Amino acid sequence: MEQRHGIEALTSGAMASVWEWTKSKIPSDLGVFDAHAHIGVDIDGRTMTGEGMRERMQAAGIVQSIVFPLNDPNARDDYSGPNDVVWSAYEDYPDLFVPFFRLNPHLDYDGEFARCIERGFEGLKLHPVSQEFELDNPKVVRLFGMAAGANIPVLIHAGFAMQRIVEPLLPTVEKHPNLRLILGHAAMVETLEAARQFEGHPNVLFETSVVQAKDLYVLFSSLDPGRISYGSDIPYGDYPSTLHATLAAADAAGVPDEHIPGILSGNIRRWFG
Ligand SMILES: [Zn+2]
């Protein structure tokens, strides 16, 4: 009941007309795919369970979400504990979740990488701010190569508090053209530069969660909408607000409605068969 109360507060009263407009932009037969959500516990006190995700998805009409750990205080050196929490949520709801695992590139990650690939995780999440690394750190570059070799996508936090994104990442993108990358938060501190530099690299997608309105507008104005994918960043974002922000920015930038199904689902869903 608490979760339903949550979405009701976000879609009623002063927000009712905003939610109505948002829903009017989403084709009724479209199953929305959320490219960025978390399950577990964060050192900042945020938490989310598989059941909490299921309730939020059902209330907002989301059919599938990529899920991965938070910056978990219980992470053992190799992140195996938080990765197990995500896997167990996936086992509870295999149709709802696409499980990604998380690693700390500073530590010995080979064992956990192999364990997660063997288990069936479908992607890797890296957070350069929380785990304090640069994208051109040799251990990170090696990890990108391992992901390319295992043919799994990597979602990178490329948002708040990032200093360098495009310049340290470009050599990896050029070396591994088949490596699928999701730029979480749309590289919001360097959106225009990222759109220009990665334009010719179709396996780099830009994900829209919790991006400033100005940067979302820049993104939709400067990049092929076939390269943009919706995300929520739950528990930091919520479905009504992030859907509205994404659709309002696309609308303001003049993106034709025919691109909405790709942005909300198809552009990334095709990666997961
Ligand atoms: Zn996140």
Alpha carbon of 157 to ligand 1 centroid (Å): 7
- When pLDDT is cut at 50, 70 and 90, the band that residue 4 belongs to is low
Beta strand 47-48 with 40-41 is antiparallel
How far is 21 from 244, CA to CA, in rounded Å? 8
Please tell me the pTM assigned to this model. Answer: 0.96
Alpha carbon of 258 to ligand 1 centroid (Å): 28
pLDDT of residue 1: 43
- When pLDDT is cut at 50, 70 and 90, the band that residue 5 belongs to is low
Alpha carbon of 267 to ligand 1 centroid (Å): 19
pLDDT of residue 2: 47
Question: Using one digit for the tens of pLDDT, what is the confidence trace for 81-136?
Answer: 999 999 999 999 999 999 999 999 999 999 999 999 999 999 999 999 999 999 99
Rounded alpha-carbon distances, angstroms, from residue 68 to 6, 80, 86, 183, 200? 22, 12, 6, 15, 28
- When pLDDT is cut at 50, 70 and 90, the band that residue 18 belongs to is very high
Alpha carbon of 208 to ligand 1 centroid (Å): 11
Alpha carbon of 193 to ligand 1 centroid (Å): 22
Alpha carbon of 170 to ligand 1 centroid (Å): 22
Alpha carbon of 111 to ligand 1 centroid (Å): 24
Could you give the domains of the chain? 2-272 (3.20.20.140)
Q: Average pLDDT over the chain, rounded to whole?
A: 95
